[in-house]
Amino acid sequence: MIYRYQPQGVCSREMEIELSEDNQTIRSLKIIGGCPGNTQGISRLVAGMKVDDVIGKLDGIRCGGRPTSCPAQLAIALKGIKEKL
């Protein structure tokens, strides 16, 4: 299933997260906007990873002086998806 999330407080504008049928694994991630190299890197790194592992690794990461980052916003999106399941 594909989920869409609009990040807050970062340069990226939208995240399209495709999860496995059991919603436990990230199949793919597309980040629209943001720093192209970083967002492509994040997308490739998390493909095939368990949702809980991604949350554990990315939650709380900051970008410069901002209180959040694109990786942290992905963790927030995944937590939100889990709450709705």
**d(C-alpha 62, C-alpha 28), whole Å:** 23
Which residue range(s) make up the domain with 60? 2-84
69, two tokens: 């980052």
pTM of this structure: 0.96
List the pLDDT tens digit at each of the 85 positions of the chain: 999 999 999 999 999 999 999 999 999 999 999 999 999 999 999 999 999 999 999 999 999 999 999 999 999 999 999 999 9
Which 3-state string (H, E, C) describes 53-68? HHHHHHCCCCCCCCCC
Phi first, then psi, for residue 46 (nearest 5°) are -85, -15
Q: CA nearest 58: which of 75, 43, 70, 46? A: 75
Q: How many domains does the chain have?
A: 1
